[in-house]
């Protein structure tokens, strides 16, 4: 085997946006498709409204749970400037899936820092393959804002070789029963953005 | 059995379960918390408790071991400082039932106040150390640590790190095997009472045990040589092993899972069979210094960073430095606004800091969600040292003669952990500080664990909540009052009165954590942009739901928890509850 057979995805956002659930679903889908899988997620203090990153890797054999810079096949972002913050993880030919959501960091509101101008332009310049979608609106249209993470994951799935049945099964096993249906629909909605 | 994708912490718990552990204790602390939470799912077979602090947890589990039960205790690295006293002498007493102290380090300080390396404690206490590098090893090494503990009658330390504890990987699970040991403490004072006459004998026994343990480590299957190209041999342990395999895929590796006492013969044999040796370890150069002491020349801390956590990228840079190449990739400096953690929308702590921000007092702080009150714009926590220090340091500043009054801040779980003794000191030694307990009815930062004040145990039993006010009075504090932290006027009056009083006082600001309750406190608030005068006073609350748009404030309806603090402080009356859709 070679390390080139290992696939990596980085999911980023702001604490509370459901990054950990999206990471769980992706990891389970990779397991179901027959791979060795490793993940890493942030817990504790970093989750309190801070910048959150989850890393998922799979292949015939995986050592590091952390993704090396420039090697992620897909970067999924639930918040747009978080996509820029972690852009260096993405392979130059990789796919970036970025939701238009903009959650103002406290440092911007206090005047300590400035929110970048022209984020869409920055995103287009940073990523050669970009899906820029309003995941929150798509989720709201389905009646559940909290499913925005599955919308992003649906779009992320279009850049990966994991069978749709494995994604569906992973959602069904990772999400509370009464939310399975809405999450599946959100995931499908995300796929249509490709 | 099918392989399961589980975290390092879940795997440690699984190993303990399979090993037949019947008593498990701990105090929550990132990144260790999920070990005990996960094990408590087996509460029908394993007695689990959140103890008030790590010292108590350690002693409870130690005694269970002396009664012949297999036991574990869990904590984060700094928790072992609190439990260091029983650790050091339990090493002398030894154990009966297997006893494993599970300690999780936090290289990189993701959620901690320091970056100390628990491996020093294994050496200091002269006890065996096990270091898993993934979830499978976390499970396997727990089983081994338990066996070694019983065979050599010593406690053992299982050291995890953030990236082991919070990474998930596939684990082949086994069945639970009851330990089959007869429970019952057998009286034997020379064994269990380390008064000097017996303690000196124990001291010699510890050294003898260490000799035997060296041989155990040298022959353990947890320490293995992986032979590949022999021009470079890397000695490594813990998560660093995983990075090494990706950054130096061609190199030979001596991988240590049973890493203390050092397996000297293995280190020497490995070094003799490779052209050059590199030691890759996270944090302090403990292994490297020992390897050098054996007369082996090696590289290590000269190329591998000793500060902060390792990563594949940092090791790749180390490799390039070793090979005289310039490191190619780096994250680069991006002109992006930092996004530090913040108090959640609706957090009951927010108003306390807001009020303190308008008072000329020194605020000694403590460890918990409320540590976030140190950030701008709240900026109202002047010191943090360790658990409980929010109380005791108030006394120290006052006795030093600081001209300002001092307010000490501590959370509910932290008060029970180690705030009580500080309060006792203030009462006994005639202090006049005001101690504010931010009681949100849970151990929030680590993910909402129970504590003596919540009225529920880890076993799920409903119990009488311990009263912080009653403890304060019992400690000798006469001025004890309880306030609603969302009522800023009441907070302001109470804090001013107590700060001005020439007597020590205890204020309990009590409101449950809304994140735990999972529901809004009131109607979502909205800003009338025409009425907003742009004074930015609401921004001073540091509420993540309130965004500044340049000329006026806006409240993000998806984030607002409806606490109404902003409405209360807006001088223009521009903030009001959102009208119902009807």
CATH number of the domain at B306, please: 3.40.50.920
Evaluate the CA torsion angle B83, B84, B85, B89 in order and state its sign.
positive
Helix residue ranges, H only, B256-410: 264-272, 286-293, 312-322, 349-356, 389-399
What is the DSSP-derived secondary structure letter of residue A67?
P
CB–CB of A85 and B336 under 8 A?
yes
Choose among A44, A66, A109: nearest Cβ to B311. Answer: A66
Choose among A37, A51, A136: nearest Cβ to B339. Answer: A51
CB–CB of B331 and A88 under 8 A?
yes
pTM of the model: 0.97
B70 and B210 share one domain: yes
Number of independent structural domains in chain B: 4
Is B291 exposed, middle or buried (CB count within 10 Å of its CB: 0-12, 13-18, 19+)?
Answer: buried
Q: Which residue ranges in chain A fall short of pLDDT 50?
A: 1-2
- Nearest Cα residue in chain A from B347: A48
Q: How far is A83 from chain B (nearest CA, A)?
A: 11
Q: What residues are paired with B170 via a beta bridge?
A: B5
End-to-end CA distance of chain B: 55
Show the tokens assigned to B520. 């809004």
On the question of a cis peptide bond just before residue B261, with omega within 30 degrees of 0, the verdict is yes
Asked if the structure places residue B55 within a domain, the reply is yes
Chain B residues within 8 A of A36 when measuring between CB atoms: 169-170
- Nearest Cα residue in chain B from A51: B339
Helix residue ranges, H only, chain A: 19-32, 80-85, 106-109, 119-126, 135-141, 148-157, 164-174, 180-191
Q: Which residues of B328-367 are buried (b: 16+ CB within 10 A; e: fewer)?
A: eeeeeeeebbebbbbbbbbbbbbbbbbbbbeeebbbbbbb
B114 and B174 share one domain: yes
CB pairs under 8 A between A and B: 168
Given B219, B252, B274, which residue is the final one in a domain? B219
Which residue segments constitute the domains of chain A, with CATH numbers given? 3-107+117-191 (3.40.920.10)
**Preferred mutation among A16, A22, A43 to probe B, highest tally of B CBs within 10 A:** A43
Asked if the structure places residue B343 within a domain, the reply is no
Asked if the structure places residue B248 within a domain, the reply is yes
The pLDDT profile of chain B, 582 residues, written as one tens digit per residue, is 568 999 999 999 999 999 999 999 999 999 999 999 999 999 999 999 999 999 999 999 999 999 999 999 999 999 999 999 999 999 999 999 999 999 999 999 999 999 999 999 999 999 999 999 999 999 999 999 999 999 999 999 999 999 999 999 999 999 999 989 999 999 999 999 999 999 999 999 999 999 999 999 999 999 999 999 999 999 999 999 999 999 999 999 999 999 999 999 999 999 999 999 999 999 999 999 999 999 999 999 999 999 999 999 999 999 999 999 987 666 665 789 999 889 999 999 999 999 999 999 999 999 999 999 999 999 999 999 999 999 999 999 999 999 999 999 999 999 999 999 999 999 999 999 999 999 999 999 999 999 999 999 999 999 999 999 999 999 999 999 999 999 999 999 999 999 999 999 999 999 999 999 888 999 999 999 999 999 999 999 999 999 998 899 999 998 999 999 999 999 999 999 998 653
B209 and B63 share one domain: yes
Q: How far is B93 from chain A (nearest CA, A)?
A: 35
Q: Are B503 and B497 in contact (CB under 8 A)?
A: no
- The answer to whether the complex's ipTM is over 0.85 is yes
B53 and B152 share one domain: yes
Contacts of B449 (CB under 8 A, 6+ apart): B28, B33, B37, B50, B413, B442, B443, B458
Given B172, B194, B219, which residue is the final one in a domain? B219
- What integer pLDDT is reported at residue B581 of this predicted model? 52
Distance CA B285, CA B45 (A): 41
**Preferred mutation among B249, B327, B337 to probe A, highest tally of A CBs within 10 A:** B337
- What integer pLDDT is reported at residue A1 of this predicted model? 39
B552 and B424 share one domain: no
- What integer pLDDT is reported at residue A142 of this predicted model? 97
List the domain range (segments joined by +) for residue B164: 3-219
In terms of phi and psi (left: phi > 0; alpha: psi -120 to 50; beta: otherwise), the region of B508 is beta
CB–CB of A136 and B558 under 8 A?
yes
Show the tokens assigned to A182. 């809405």
B358 and B435 share one domain: yes
B245 and B355 share one domain: no
- Nearest Cα residue in chain A from B540: A110
Asked if the structure places residue B192 within a domain, the reply is yes
Chain B residues within 8 A of A70 when measuring between CB atoms: 329
Q: Which residues of B261-279 are buried (b: 16+ CB within 10 A; e: fewer)?
A: bbbbebbeebbeebeebbb
Asked if the structure places residue B379 within a domain, the reply is yes
B313 and B448 share one domain: no
CB–CB of A40 and B166 under 8 A?
yes
Q: How far is the CA of A32 from the CAs of B7, B389, B449, in angstroms?
A: 17, 49, 32
Tell me the residue length of chain B: 582
B167 and B242 share one domain: no
B467 and B381 share one domain: yes
Asked if the structure places residue B333 within a domain, the reply is no
Asked if the structure places residue B442 within a domain, the reply is yes
Distance CA B42, CA B27 (A): 18
Q: How far is B197 from chain A (nearest CA, A)?
A: 46
On the question of a cis peptide bond just before residue B377, with omega within 30 degrees of 0, the verdict is yes
B391 and B509 share one domain: yes
Show the tokens assigned to B399. 């006795």
Q: Are B156 and B101 in contact (CB under 8 A)?
A: yes
B140 and B23 share one domain: yes
Q: How far is A155 from chain B (nearest CA, A)?
A: 23
Given B499, B517, B535, which residue is the final one in a domain? B517
Q: How far is B2 from chain A (nearest CA, A)?
A: 12
What is the DSSP-derived secondary structure letter of residue B416?
I
Q: Phi and psi of B349, rounded to 5°?
A: -75, -25
Q: How many CA atoms lie within 13 A of B396 on its CB side?
A: 10
Asked if the structure places residue B334 within a domain, the reply is no
CB–CB of A50 and B372 under 8 A?
no
Q: What residues are paired with B100 via a beta bridge?
A: B72, B156
Helix (H, G, I), strand (E, B) or coil at B225: strand
Helix-then-strand count for chain A, H and E: 8, 6
Choose among B170, B246, B330: nearest Cβ to A3. Answer: B246
- What integer pLDDT is reported at residue B234 of this predicted model? 99
Task: Give the CATH number for residue B384.
Answer: 3.40.50.970
Q: Which residues of B548-564 are buried (b: 16+ CB within 10 A; e: fewer)?
A: beeebbbbbebbbbbbb
Choose among A38, A48, A81: nearest Cβ to B169. Answer: A38
């Amino acid at each position: 085997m070679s390390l080139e057979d290992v696939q990596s995805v980085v999911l980023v956002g702001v604490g509370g946006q459901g990054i950990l659930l999206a990471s769980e679903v992706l990891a389970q889908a990779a397991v179901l498709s027959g791979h060795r899988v490793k993940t890493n997620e942030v817990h504790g203090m970093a989750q309190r409204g801070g910048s959150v990153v989850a890393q998922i890797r799979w292949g015939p054999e995986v050592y590091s749970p952390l993704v090396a810079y420039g090697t992620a096949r897909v970067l999924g972002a639930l918040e747009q400037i978080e996509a820029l913050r972690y852009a260096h993880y993405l392979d130059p030919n990789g796919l970036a899936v970025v939701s238009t959501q903009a959650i103002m960091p406290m440092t911007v509101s206090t005047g300590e820092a400035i929110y970048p101008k022209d984020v869409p332009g920055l995103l287009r310049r940073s990523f050669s393959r970009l899906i820029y979608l309003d995941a929150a609106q798509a989720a709201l249209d389905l009646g559940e804002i909290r499913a925005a993470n599955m919308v992003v994951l649906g779009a992320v799935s279009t850049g990966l070789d994991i069978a749709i049945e494995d994604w569906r099964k992973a959602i069904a096993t990772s999400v509370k029963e009464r939310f399975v249906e809405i999450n599946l629909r959100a995931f499908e909605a995300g796929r249509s953005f490709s | 059995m099918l392989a399961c994708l589980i975290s390092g912490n879940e795997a440690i718990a699984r190993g303990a379960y399979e090993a037949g552990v019947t008593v498990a204790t701990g105090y929550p602390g990132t990144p260790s918390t999920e070990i005990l939470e996960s094990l408590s799912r087996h509460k029908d077979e394993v007695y689990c408790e959140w103890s008030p602090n790590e010292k108590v947890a350690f002693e409870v589990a130690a005694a269970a071991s002396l009664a012949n039960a297999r036991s574990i205790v869990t904590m984060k690295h700094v928790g072992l400082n609190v439990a260091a006293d029983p650790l050091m002498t339990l090493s002398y007493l030894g154990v009966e039932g297997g006893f494993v102290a599970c300690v999780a380090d936090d290289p990189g300080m993701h959620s901690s106040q320091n970056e100390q390396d628990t491996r020093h404690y294994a050496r200091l206490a002269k006890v065996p150390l096990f270091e898993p590098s993934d979830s499978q090893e976390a499970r396997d090494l727990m089983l081994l640590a338990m066996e070694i503990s019983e065979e050599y009658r010593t406690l053992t330390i299982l050291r995890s790190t953030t990236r082991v504890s919070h990474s998930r990987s596939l684990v082949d699970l086994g069945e639970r095997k009851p330990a089959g040991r007869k429970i019952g403490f057998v009286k034997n004072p020379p064994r269990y009472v380390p008064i000097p006459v017996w303690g000196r004998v124990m001291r010699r026994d510890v050294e003898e045990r260490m000799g035997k343990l060296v041989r155990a480590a040298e022959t353990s299957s947890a320490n293995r040589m992986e032979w590949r190209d022999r021009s470079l041999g890397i000695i490594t342990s813990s998560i660093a092993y995983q990075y090494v395999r990706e950054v130096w895929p061609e190199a030979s590796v001596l991988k240590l899972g049973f890493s203390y006492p050092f397996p000297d013969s293995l280190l020497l044999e490995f070094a003799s069979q490779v052209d050059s040796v590199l030691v890759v370890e996270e944090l302090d150069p403990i292994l490297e210094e020992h390897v050098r002491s054996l007369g082996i020349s090696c590289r290590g801390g000269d190329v591998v960073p000793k500060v902060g956590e390792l990563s594949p990228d940092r090791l790749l840079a180390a490799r390039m430095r070793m090979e005289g190449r310039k490191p190619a990739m780096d994250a680069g400096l991006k002109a992006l606004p930092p996004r530090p953690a913040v108090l959640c929308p609706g957090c009951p702590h927010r108003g306390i800091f807001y009020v303190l921000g308008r008072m000329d007092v020194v605020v000694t702080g403590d460890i918990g969600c409320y540590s976030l009150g140190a950030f701008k714009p709240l900026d109202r926590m002047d010191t943090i040292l360790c658990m409980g220090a929010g109380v005791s340091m108030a006394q120290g500043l006052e006795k030093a003669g600081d001209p300002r009054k001092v307010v000490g801040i501590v959370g509910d779980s932290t008060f029970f952990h180690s705030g009580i003794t500080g309060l006792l000191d203030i009462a006994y030694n005639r202090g006049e500080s005001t101690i504010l307990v931010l009681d949100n009815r849970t151990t929030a930062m680590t993910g909402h664990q129970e504590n003596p004040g919540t009225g529920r145990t880890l076993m799920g039993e409903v119990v009488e909540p311990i009263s912080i006010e009653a403890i304060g009075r019992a400690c000798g504090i006469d001025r004890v009052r309880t306030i609603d932290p969302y009522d800023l006027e009441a907070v302001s009056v109470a804090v001013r009165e107590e700060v001005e009083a020439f007597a020590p006082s205890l204020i309990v600001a009590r409101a449950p954590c809304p994140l735990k309750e999972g529901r809004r406190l009131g109607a979502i608030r909205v800003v009338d942009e025409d009425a907003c005068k742009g004074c930015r006073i609401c921004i001073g609350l540091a509420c993540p739901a309130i965004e500044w748009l340049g000329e006026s404030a806006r409240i993000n309806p998806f984030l607002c928890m409806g606490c109404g603090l902003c409405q209360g402080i807006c001088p223009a009356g521009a903030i009001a509850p959102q009208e119902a859709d009807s």
